[in-house]
Structure 1
């Protein structure tokens, strides 16, 4: 199963690295790590340490688990489809569905955080309809080629070692 990256800190960690592969319209970023620790775990550990302005200190409730919960290993997918490259929400939704479907078709993706970023718009003269079958097929073919290249190539940091 492929999880979804939802927190901005995880997007920032992945997008800070150079793209692993690129195509005419998409860039694929990868970070072979887990999601960042939850913010609520850090907040639970700080509870009760600061003085309260009401004068009386509240009882400190210790969490049952002293260790932060384990983050499941596997693939985590994030998508960046900006409005400046896909003006209509129908087009953005179509591209996001195609990205998810392309990842679902490849169960052998290496674990880690993956972000697919739309880096240039599709030609509106060639694809006048926002949700046409032609646009869907073109995006699917390009994403399949992008993921195939990502599986064949090693990450740039590993190749440099």
Structure 2
């Protein structure tokens, strides 16, 4: 599994479709057409711009906005949960670029501590639902080679 790193990669995926949603998260996805995918693929050969997705693999990015998680420790804990849980689903996710986006805040009255075990469990449970919905909804996309 590859991680999204550049702003243009995130923008390309967010311009794609929303595959699954839960109360707090949304999963955006854009299919990779070939070994090197880019909206500017034809232009990149001429202008020597780097290709957005150089490898045909599962790509993943996490967006946790300060708007929805005020404390940095909370944002980092949520991102760690996203990346660790996505590793469990890597074999079942289609070869595409994905972005998991936090789209609503967790109630600070219910989860007082920024990194409480209750918050981590709630995030993990909701992410499992998100990835399960995404896998169930995208049977037409190509799975990573060597997976059933």
TM-score, normalised on structure 2? 0.79
The separation in 1 between residues aligned to 2:17 and 2:71, in whole angstroms, is 28
Q: Paired residue for 1:31?
A: 30
Question: How far did residue 16 of structure 1 move?
Answer: 1.3
- Residue matched to 1:128: 112
Is 1:102 the counterpart of 2:101? The answer is no
- Name 2:145's counterpart in structure 1: none
Q: TM-score, normalised by structure 1?
A: 0.73
1:22 equivalent to 2:21? Answer yes
SS at match of 2:93: coil
Root mean square deviation of aligned Cα: 2.3
1:51 aligns with none
SS at match of 1:28: strand
In 1, Cα distance between the equivalents of 2:83 and 2:134? 16
The runs of at least 4 consecutive aligned structure 1 residues that moved more than 4 Å come to 39-45
Which 5+ residue runs of structure 1 have no aligned equivalent? 46-67, 156-161
**1:2-58 deviations in whole A, cap 9, x for unaligned?**
111111111111111231110000000011115536x9976558xxxxxxxxxxxxx
Kindly state the Cα deviation for residue 81 of structure 1 after the two structures are TM-superposed: 0.4
* 3-state SS, counterpart of residue 65 of structure 2: coil
| Contact 2:26–2:100 (8 Å) recurs in 1 | yes
Tell me which residue corresponds to 1:143. Answer: 127
What 5-or-longer segments of structure 2 have no aligned partner? 140-148
